[in-house]
Structure 1
Amino acid sequence: MEPNKTGLKTFSETLKTPVFLISIIIAIIFVAAGIILPDFNQYIDATFNWVVTNLGWTFILGGSSFLFITLFLIISPLGAIKLGEDHEEPEYSTPAWFSMLFSAGMGIGLLFWGVSEPVFHYNTPAYGEGGTAQAVHMALQYSFFHWGLHPWAIYAVVACALAYFSYRKNLPMLLSSTLEPILGRDKINGGLGNTVNIVGVLATLFGISTSLGLGVMQIGAGMETLFGIPNNTALWMGIIVVVTILAILSTTTGIDKGIKWLSQINLSVAGLLLLLVLILGPTLFILNAFTHATGSYLQNILQMSFGIDAAGEGTEGWYGSWTIFYWAWWISWAPFVGSFIARVSRGRTIRSFSIGVLLVPTAVSMVWFSVFGGAALFREHFGIGGISEVIGEDEALGFFVALADFPFSSLLVAIAMISVTVFFITSSDSGTYVIGMLTSQGNPNPPLALRITWGTIEGAFAAVLLYAGGLGALQTAAVTGGFPFMLIMFLMVYCLFKALFKEMKEGSLPVERQRVQAALDDIRAEQRKHLEARDMVNSGEKEDDK
């Protein structure tokens, strides 16, 4: 069965669809409100506090549920089913696939928080006293937790559902397609289906704007470190304009050129930076810290997964500022990252797909935080310190202050700036593809004018959020976009399992498994023949004896 080629081919056709019209109107209203309303940041703060206080527990349970679901897909017989036809091979090589996962997934966030988050946890841990040896270990343990298995499980659930219904069931690459067992094939673009896709568009806008905003702050911090330019709102607006233009230029080249090439190049640049810091930094401490934190993470993962400090035993507001924010951010990113991962994952089995999405990026994130966070923690705990004071004023500066200790620090800062800029471009470019698909009724290659339109709006969203309140506004955007989409994700899980178990019950499992079963049947048949022949021989010998 050929992949579904449905979808709107021209920009003029997309202008008439409810998903595009409603999404663009809401986006414009949000941007206008951020510019016009004088107290917009107060509304943002109130929204964040209400969601975290009243709905925080839902994110904790949701994030853990999606991890268990992904693990079940890996170990169950359902993992043998292909995301595509049984005979298909993966569309992209494994190295290219991994590089695109990371550039779309969380590259900007790793650069922004790679130093700042462990140092924050070192000074203000979830439990216990800050600035101690125990706080060093907990700092990396919780950094692994926030950037490890849970976020990638969230992405895997959405991506698997999208890829399965699109490539195996021949439905459009739409979020509403994942609810086909509930909606019916003819209602995917109906009222409820359009509502699901609109929620996906808005969640993507909020989620990607959060990352783009972090990227802008990071680039500004690098320019302040290298050239002494004040890292303020005016600089952020200029960076957004320049980098958004570069992202729009990238989107004109398509996935196979722009995103694929930039992702592979940038993964090499980030890898070089990591290797240099590992070699030039406190190598032995980094390796020891990685080993210790890995054990602590795996040993305490269940307790951390459901921890929310209901009785107020630990640091006040810690879970709201960190774990709940992160889970909401990853969920708000899920329609974007999940759609993009699905777009580039055709031809893989559910098992190999889930293992790749879940384990490999998690391992890389753990190494990243061990190297950069470990070097920063060594300086704070054993050395001259100074990073804590800097990130207290500007979180984006932490990464560059940590690099200042190393030989050729200016070169390292420049490499980091290049890396975060390319991550910005690939994230924005990937986002335009995903929103373009959702607003063109599932066209896997949306019209160029549509992609340019959404690329411009993404930049405007990031600008408004930074103007309204910097990091706090970005966090609120993530939390706000995450909750409604989490509800949709649970419906996705129900529909995915319903379809998978139906396929297994009907015996339409992949050809590979059928071949294995046929081979086993042949072996059993040969064994039966052998036993029958032996019995006949034994029977003949007994007759001769008589």
Structure 2
Amino acid sequence: MDRSVFKISVGIAAVFVLIGVLIPEQLGAAMEVAKGFVLEKFGWFYQLVATFFLLFAAFMIFSKYGKIKLGKQDTKPEFSRPTWFAMLFSAGMGIGLLFYGVSEPISHFSAPPIGEGGTEQSAILGMRYTWLHWGLHAWAIYAIVALALAYQKYNRNAPGLMSATLHPVLGEKVKGPIGKTVDVVAVFATLFGVAASLGLGSQQINAGLEYLIGIPNNFTVQFIIMAVITALFIVSATTGISKGIKYLSNINMSLAVVLFFVMLILGPTLFLLNMFTSTLGSYVQNVALMGLRLAPFDANEAAWTQGWTVFYWAWWISWTPFVGMFIARVSKGRTIREFTIAVLLVPSLVCALWFTVFGGTGIYLEVVQGLDVSSQSLETALFFVFQQLPFGALLSVLTVALITTFFVTSADSATFVLGMLTTGGKLNPPNGVKVVWGIILAASTLVLLASGGLTGLQTAIIVSALPLTFIVLVMCYGLYKELGKEYKKQMNPDWKKQEKAKPEKTAS
């Protein structure tokens, strides 16, 4: 096993953590400068590539390549379609949906990208932009990377590495320094992308504990939360994917479904159904315009787009090695058309329903009942809404438990993926490697929280995702090249014999 990627990645991560411990303020200031530079200079780039990935995914659905199967032509899917859909649903769930479930729609409602806040129009607009950030664009990014990983794994028997997806373009160079650099970039994008989710989770667990039992909401408490849950997810990671992640994922699924339907029933059900229908029409009508909006003539509107939309595109790109590997792992035997349609539509629909129920309830409480939901902080908005509903305390306890299990499964899966990326694609990385990455992941999260809080988390995502974006673009080109050959192979199994039988051209 080549340990060079592991050694380089751990070394750089250790230096980052050490700097954060010794000079957190200077690290925070440097990251803020880097964030401003990337947002100002590359915001247009993120908008264009996110739209390109959506168009590329649509091309995969409607082109002749949609018939190609991931695996041999006689390969059968490993999981039934309902089970597969449920797994895609679980990939779409996470700490972010709980953290932003109420807070993002209500934030856009009170401070929309366009026009006056606090109106009926801004309510639909706010929900529509939330759907944009968590909908088709996001899942197109995941779908493309997952498709490239699955194709290389099942059709070319390549290792589960980001560098392997570039083989059609770079050839054997992916086994040298270029490939190692690609894998190191993927490691750090994954590290910071997941660290952001863990940071949000520790903040919201702290907010829930403050609401339930009065524990102060500060960095010290968040440090203790991180320490306890780090121990939990390292134990889970070392028990293996078949035990730890499987059991916790089942618990996650059950708790999330229960919480969703309880909120739908206890909340303003008819209002939420009407909100969903209205937002759906508005989203379909404006999705292209929203996905390319930058507001070059209005600095405030431009700042809104950079702080929300561009941040999300970077976040999803940074998560692609993590989520892409999971989706690829469970999708063997599917055709490209079936795969892309499912990955685009199933999680997007789940996210749309989730935000409509949670965010719509928050908007209803403010517009109809006159409560000041929008003044709550991002991490406390959900618990404030629970206070206004029957069984609010029970819902808060359930949510803290759900965030905790999401926290553990996200970190557990991340250590598994980081282990794969740094051990040459091993399907079962050594426990020692997973423990090292678990400790680094927790330490990086604490450093980012200490040096800049939510801003520090956002900065790490935006900066680390930029080089990975170029890698994914090359990946798209390589996938397109390979599918041309695969189409000939699967549609005409004798094409290689025919190619060899052709007479060679002679020089005149």
Distance 1:88 1:19 in 2: 33
5+ unaligned residues in a row in structure 1: which ranges? 1-7, 9-13, 515-546
Distance 1:285 1:323, change over 3 A: same
2:452 to 449, 466, 469: 469
2:369 to 375, 383, 404: 383
Describe the superposition over 1:137-170 as per-residue Cα deviations: whole angstroms up to 9, x where unpaired.
1111111111001111101111100110111101
Give the paired residue count.
493
After the TM superposition, which residues 68-107 of structure 1 pair with which residues of structure 2 at under 5 Å, given as runs?
A: 68-107=55-94
Structure having the higher Rg: 1
Distance 1:206 1:106 in 2: 18
Describe the superposition over 1:434-490 as per-residue Cα deviations: whole angstroms up to 9, x where unpaired.
111111111112112111211121111111111111111111111011111000000
1:249 aligns with 2:235: yes
SS in 2 for 1:86: coil
Aligned to 2:185: 199
Aligned to 1:337: 323
2:218 to 232, 237, 251: 232
Aligned to 2:292: 306
1:441 aligns with 2:429: no
Give the counterpart letter for 1:54 in structure 2: K
1:480 aligns with 2:463: yes
Distance 2:166 2:84 in 1: 26
SS in 2 for 1:39: helix
Distance 1:481 1:100 in 2: 27
1:172 aligns with 2:155: no
Q: Which moved more, 1:220-229 or 1:254-263?
A: 254-263
Distance 1:316 1:72, change over 3 A: closer
After the TM superposition, which residues 273-352 of structure 1 pair with which residues of structure 2 at under 5 Å, given as runs?
A: 273-312=259-298, 315=301, 317-352=303-338
RMSD: 1.6
Distance 1:261 1:509, change over 3 A: farther
1:148 aligns with 2:110: no
- Assess if the C-alpha contact under 8 Å between 1:48 and 1:480 holds in 2: yes
SS in 2 for 1:300: helix
Aligned to 1:64: 51
Give the counterpart letter for 2:128 in structure 1: Q
- Assess if the C-alpha contact under 8 Å between 1:435 and 1:454 holds in 2: yes
Distance 2:201 2:256 in 1: 15
After the TM superposition, which residues 254-265 of structure 1 pair with which residues of structure 2 at under 5 Å, given as runs?
A: 254-265=240-251
1:509 to 475, 491, 500: 491
Give the counterpart letter for 1:476 in structure 2: T
Distance 2:412 2:342 in 1: 23
Give the counterpart letter for 1:474 in structure 2: L
Distance 1:93 1:265 in 2: 20
| TM-score, with length taken from structure 1 | 0.88
In the TM superposition, residue 334 of structure 1 has moved relative to its aligned partner by 1.0
- Assess if the C-alpha contact under 8 Å between 2:88 and 2:346 holds in 1: no
Distance 1:311 1:462, change over 3 A: same
- Assess if the C-alpha contact under 8 Å between 1:99 and 1:263 holds in 2: no
- Assess if the C-alpha contact under 8 Å between 1:99 and 1:264 holds in 2: no
Aligned to 2:403: 420
Distance 1:459 1:93, change over 3 A: farther
Distance 1:510 1:465 in 2: 53
Give the counterpart letter for 1:40 in structure 2: L
- Structure 1 stretches of 4+ with a deviation exceeding 6 A read none
- Assess if the C-alpha contact under 8 Å between 1:404 and 1:410 holds in 2: yes
1:362 aligns with 2:362: no
Aligned to 1:25: 11
SS in 2 for 1:308: coil
Give the counterpart letter for 1:198 in structure 2: V
Distance 1:183 1:317 in 2: 38
1:457 aligns with 2:440: yes
Aligned to 2:109: 122
Aligned to 2:97: 110
5+ unaligned residues in a row in structure 2: which ranges? 496-508
1:54 aligns with 2:36: no
Distance 1:413 1:110 in 2: 15
